[in-house]
Chains A and B, each alone.
Chain A
């Protein structure tokens, strides 16, 4: 099953490689991994999307907690949560295709953020399946480049994760 793990870790050189190294050394999957400092500059917040059985998830969580740089680990699947990902798509956009692409982008609440004679660059945020659906709605031959950030996640309601 797909799980979204939220981590708080010391904002130290090497903390990221400890987490990444753990996943590769123990053969755990990583679908995506994002990390950036938080409002407290000594802490980074990381979101890892992974998958595994209940047993594997238990080990992943335990192993992450064991890393000395990791302050907190939470499996967002254990509660209600939000998941968002940002995607930038560069499209071939010429003549009549321009209107069509714009319409599709509008339907998905995407925004065109850069334009040339031949291209549109579209920005879109949402959960993973929305971004997937958008890509499916486009003519694959027209897609020049896609960049996705990987998911970020946060718990719903007044549940908060902090030190």
Chain B
């Protein structure tokens, strides 16, 4: 069948089962938009800024596990998209980004709206392509989906010059693709897996540290079984929340910079550490030298060899898909009667119990000031722990991670690696489109929300009834917290004067706005908002402006060197 490049592009999306594409039109993609117009299989969501198209597509992928797709025009369309591409890249999210480019004959001539898209995006994509001939288009699209979704997932960009989208060729979508230069490892090394199981079974102070890779690899069920079978403690990274159920007694909370006392101490003092799909980030293992003061043996399962022994040297490196490897481990555990030494394990749990006794998540309650932690706790109760929660970046993000207990994967969507303010609202849109019947709430701050506030308009157009929980402390709170703790209370440019009236702002977009100023009104307002199932509700909680996130490990310090509360300052 003879089709234009534009039609081929859309047909490829159809072949890949793409339901939604998030984008914004412009000159270089006019043929593609024309092709979109003439079909009804792939639905387009018109955002209000390209960054939001990327975040929405990204969150669609985080919520479903299927690749997100975004479409932007050349030049400013692409540069606006870069933040979103980098956000997905840092968190290993599968996405295909289609960008228009100036006609091939104009490339390199400083043409109108020309940028070197492949060059600009190279460091923040898993791979990218410039399609110079329409004959290569279908195969390139196939490669893009294949590369984005296999191995360690990531965004892949396909840059399509305008003339290529106009030219016509025979359309053939390859059923399969092979690339000699790209063969991600799936199966783990059997000898190493055996060694790992043995090491775990012989541990006296075991610890499981699970990250985003467990969510990405759809392995949280397997992980949960294994952890329960062995009776060992488990922590999740910020990206791994939900990989192991937060309400399980074996869960010791998130670890890292704002992790729990018990998780960080168990991490530090364990004798065998099983790291699964986690990358020993600097916000997790602050100071690696301090980490190695205590000797422990480390088993690391990761699909990306370069994640292994990057910041922390490990003893048993297992390259492979977490599902495959955990399945093998489980088989071996089932085959052997040996279990961990019950006396040692009991002692270890006793020790952990003592650490838990510090109640590091305790915070000062108040009748007069709305505590942000209290809002998140109440949100958890009102939504029965079953909402999809997106967040922006800052203190509110950490409180969301600490006080909303995620029992399932793909319920917590946030920008961990890049830490992109502006992610939350468009992410909520992507999640709501993926799951129209789910409750979706965006926990945000008054600063972050303003970075993509224009998307309130997109929510209106597509009837996406997301709920916005704005923890409004009038500060760039996370910045203010660092300035208080590390820069002698000099609050340089971290106070936001002249904030908008968010209630009126929401109303002007056609939504419902509620301002909450008293702790007594928190629950009622939340219940009212979630009862409005068809509406976007903007809940503007005026929270305690001085509240800080604890525990806190200052950047560069060791995991056990935690500030637990205001009394430690």
Chain A interface residues toward B at CB < 8 A = 9-10, 13-14, 17-18, 21, 25, 55, 58-59, 62-63, 65-66, 68-71, 163
Contact = CB atoms under 8 A, between A and B. Distances in A.
Contacts of A55: 309, 313
Interface of B: 118-119, 122-123, 126-127, 130, 147, 179-182, 304-306, 309-310, 313
Nearest to A60: B306
A163 B180 contact: yes
A68 B127 contact: yes
B179 A68 contact: yes
B509 to A, nearest CB: 40
Given A55-B309, A66-B306, 12 more contacts: A14-B118, A14-B122, A14-B130, A17-B119, A21-B122, A25-B123, A58-B309, A66-B304, A66-B305, A68-B126, A68-B181, A163-B180
A66 B307 CA distance: 11
Contact of B181 (A10, A14, A58, A63): A10
Contact of B306 (A10, A62, A71): A62
B181 A62 contact: no
A59 B310 CA distance: 7
A73 B381 CA distance: 53
29 contacts: A9-B181, A10-B181, A13-B130, A14-B122, A14-B130, A17-B122, A21-B122, A21-B123, A25-B123, A55-B309, A55-B313, A58-B309, A59-B306, A62-B305, A62-B306, A63-B306, A65-B305, A65-B306, A66-B304, A66-B305, A66-B306, A68-B126, A68-B127, A68-B179, A68-B181, A69-B127, A70-B181, A71-B181, A163-B180
A10 B181 CA distance: 8
Contacts of B130: 13-14
Contacts of B306: 59, 62-63, 65-66
Main SS of the interface on chain A? helix
A64 to B, nearest CB: 9
A10 B143 CA distance: 15
B180 A71 contact: yes
A17 B116 CA distance: 13
Nearest to B147: A68
Nearest to A58: B309
A69 B122 contact: no
A8 to B, nearest CB: 9
A13 B136 CA distance: 14
Contacts of A163: 180
Contacts of A58: 309
A17 B127 CA distance: 12
A63 B118 CA distance: 19
Nearest to B122: A21
Contacts of B180: 71, 163
A127 to B, nearest CB: 30
A68 B179 CA distance: 9
Contacts of B118: 14
Nearest to B151: A66
Closest 8 A/B residue pairs (Cβ): A62-B306, A68-B127, A71-B181, A62-B305, A68-B182, A25-B123, A63-B306, A66-B306
A58 B306 CA distance: 8
A41 to B, nearest CB: 15
A18 B126 CA distance: 11
Nearest to B128: A14
B246 to A, nearest CB: 33
B172 to A, nearest CB: 21
B124 to A, nearest CB: 10
Contacts of A62: 305-306
A71 B310 CA distance: 22
A69 B128 CA distance: 10
Contacts of A21: 122-123
B181 A69 contact: yes
Contacts of A70: 181
Nearest to B308: A62
B122 A18 contact: yes
B312 to A, nearest CB: 11
Nearest to A10: B181
A21 B119 CA distance: 10
Contacts of A59: 306, 310
Contacts of A69: 127, 181
Contacts of B119: 17
A157 B247 CA distance: 61
A108 B522 CA distance: 85
Contacts of B123: 21, 25
A74 to B, nearest CB: 14
A62 B222 CA distance: 28
Nearest to A70: B181
A66 B150 CA distance: 13
A21 B126 CA distance: 13
Nearest to B132: A13
A163 B178 CA distance: 14
B99 to A, nearest CB: 15
A58 B311 CA distance: 12
Contacts of A25: 123
B522 to A, nearest CB: 46
Nearest to A69: B181
Contacts of A9: 181
Nearest to B319: A62
Interface centre among A58, A68, A71 (most CB of B within 10 A): A68
A34 B413 CA distance: 44
A70 B305 CA distance: 15
A13 B119 CA distance: 11
B311 to A, nearest CB: 10
